[in-house]
Copies of this chain bind each other. A is one copy, B any other.
Amino acid sequence: MYIEKINSPQDVKALNTEEMKQLAQEMRTVLIKKLSIHGGHFGPNLGMAEAIIALHYVFNSPVDKFVFDVSHQSYCHKILTGRKDAFIFEDKYDDVSGYANPDESEHDFFNIGHTSTSVSLASGLAKARDLNGGKENVIAVIGDGSLSGGEALEGLDYAGEFDGNFIIVVNDNDMSIAENHGGLYKNLKLLRDTNGKAECNLFKAMGLDYVFVKDGNDIEQLISAFESVKDIDHPVVVHICTQKGKGYAPAEKDKENWHWCMPFDIETGRSKFEFDGESYDDITVNYLLDKMKNDKSVAVITSGTPTVAGFTKEKRDIAGKQFIDVGIAEEHAVALASGMAKNGAKPVYGVYSSFIQRTYDQISQDLCINSNPVTIIVFAATVFGMNDVTHLGIYDIAMLSNIPNLVYLAPTCKEEYLAMVEWSMSQRKYPVAIRVPGNGVVSNPNYKPIDFDNLNKYSVTKEGGKVAILGLGTFYQLGESVADEIKKQYGIDATVVNPVYITGTDKDLLAELAKTHDVVITLEDGILNGGFGEKIARFYGKSDVKVFNYGLKKEFLDRYDYNEVLAENHLTKEQICEDIKDFI
């Protein structure tokens, strides 16, 4: 076993080619085992084993600097840079994050988790090196669908004019999470088909030098290519063709489903995680497919994460031309949707909270200034969602809800969610975003749809006095339980309100509440700063009503236990009851 003896990249340099090949197999074995138990990014890492060995063999990390795009393909880099134990020993699996992390190692330079950033970040390392007279190599590694993102393309364009050492390794595995989308991938295919010899070459057209590696899983070819560009005095792209999921048959065959995995059985490849409940993905895809059947102007857009709204391969095939995967290109997705709405279509853009951050300006300028009727469905917008620092779903209220003209809705149950989607797709006046609840699918058979056109009218769901609780979206049920606790502890019948609209203040209702309530509590599943509750506090600023805003602190959380986070932010019914004790 070589892997056990690798404590730093220096140990890689001591191996011969055959030993490196063996090391690649060993890395695959530990990766497959760890991922079968722990889950994580599967295909991207299996495909990059040889390339990462070759990079560490040729270059001298951390003096030479690697920046991995998304960094979901950097597990092998972690193995080779002193972190192998976190892949070999089950009790140490959680010692490392799933992404690059400077706190773990001097071989990592950035926390990275969103796509398409490596070229730009690495170009900054290179520019600073040149200003300060350094000599090291700077290497960006990009691929796996990331090239289509605007930031990556801006970065390549900048790199094409850069006048010093800069090496961009394009890991071309012919895939994004699902199949690749975008015209540039036709050029990558042409380059693959011509052994890199086609004159028409995207990278050269961007002003970059170019080297082609036919088999990006062949250690010798890789070492030879990397040695040829080491210490180069200008920017160059090394285009390597790898096989996503290499070394595990089910993943080689079904690349999309093995991009990321839950714990699975190695023998059969079957997932150990059986989710048999109802999910908002299923609810959404079923609703939208039905809509599409009856209205050819309905179309669903994704930016490289097709299953976000439940559109598995099978469902995408049913949707046909009414399903549009633009590739990783969130900015384009929003502008496309705005244009479609303007010309009479009914576009629905499904996107994760963390990734909608990539399109603030398009939502403001392309969409909201133009008031086009687009429906955006925001998934994983919750403290209960992804918990890596780069994939949090707790900032979207602050980001979206302060953009004029947008109607941002917070459903509290399945029935309300569907009523909102229905309304949004039927109206032609507003850009609408809908925040999918983060606390699982709650059904409320007694839910009565309201006329959402009557903007910013909150729903009083339980009438009471003294204390009013505004429970937004995911936290509506918490609001109900707080009301029960208040009844239990203080004998007070609190009023419970479903605000419905994140983007508006129901001034009439708030003024009315002030007459019979001393305390107003707001609850929201996101950071408090820039959020919903602060608007309520502003409204009551001049009144005698006491306002208690509950939500999360403005901070970057990382791999947290949500119960701990909720407790730290006083988001339990007991804490809230205690907080208001002296005010009732």
Contacts and interface: CB of A to CB of B under 8 A. Distances in A.
A127 B403 CA distance: 26
A151 interface: yes
Contact of A366 (B110, B159, B322): B110
A448 interface: no
Contact of A547 (B129, B200, B541): B541
Interface in A115-171: 117, 120-132, 134, 148-151, 153-161
Nearest to A544: B544
A389 interface: yes
Contacts of A541: 537, 540, 546-549
Interface string A57-88: 00000000101000000000000000000000
Nearest to A334: B120
A205 B202 contact: yes
B357 A151 contact: no
A487 to B, nearest CB: 22
B131 A160 contact: no
A208 interface: yes
A530 B361 contact: no
Contact of A154 (B128, B130, B149, B161): B149
Contact of A157 (B153, B154, B205, B555): B153
Contacts of A221: none
Copies of this protein in the complex:
2
Contact of A357 (B364, B404, B540): B364
B329 A121 contact: no
A313 interface: no
Contacts of A338: 110, 121, 124
Interface string A479-516: 00000000000000000000000000000000000000
Given A331-B151, A537-B537, A339 B123 contact: yes
Nearest to A298: B131
A156 B128 contact: no
Contacts of A533: 538
Nearest to A203: B205
Given A360-B361, A370-B110, A128 B332 contact: no
A338 B67 CA distance: 13
Interface string A169-192: 000000000000111101100000
A158 B528 contact: no
A541 B546 CA distance: 5
A389 B360 contact: no
A156 to B, nearest CB: 7
Contact of A339 (B124, B204, B296): B124
Contacts of A405: 556
A345 B554 contact: no
Nearest to A198: B199
Interface stretch (A280-288, A376-384, A394-402): A394-402
A583 interface: yes
Given A332-B155, A337-B124, A117 B343 contact: no
A201 B203 CA distance: 10
Nearest to A160: B183
A161 B132 contact: no
Given A345-B127, A365-B117, A398-B402, A151 B527 contact: no
A332 B155 CA distance: 6
A86 B54 CA distance: 65
Interface in A388-420: 389-390, 395, 398-399, 401-405
B181 A207 contact: no
Contact of A404 (B151, B390, B556): B556
A29 interface: no
A473 to B, nearest CB: 17
A124 B299 CA distance: 11
Nearest to A67: B339
Interface in A517-572: 527-531, 533-535, 537-538, 540-542, 544, 546-549, 554-556
B130 A321 contact: yes
Nearest to A155: B332
A344 interface: yes
A113 B366 CA distance: 9
B404 A402 contact: no
A535 B533 CA distance: 10
A395 B390 contact: no
A297 B360 contact: no
A128 B340 contact: yes
Nearest to A391: B365
B150 A149 contact: yes
Given A157-B153, A360-B361, A202 B199 contact: no
A385 B369 CA distance: 18
Given A126-B339, A127-B324, A401-B529, 5 more contacts: A124-B336, A148-B157, A202-B205, A404-B527, A537-B538
11 contacts: A65-B343, A120-B336, A124-B335, A131-B297, A153-B154, A159-B183, A161-B181, A183-B208, A202-B205, A357-B360, A401-B529
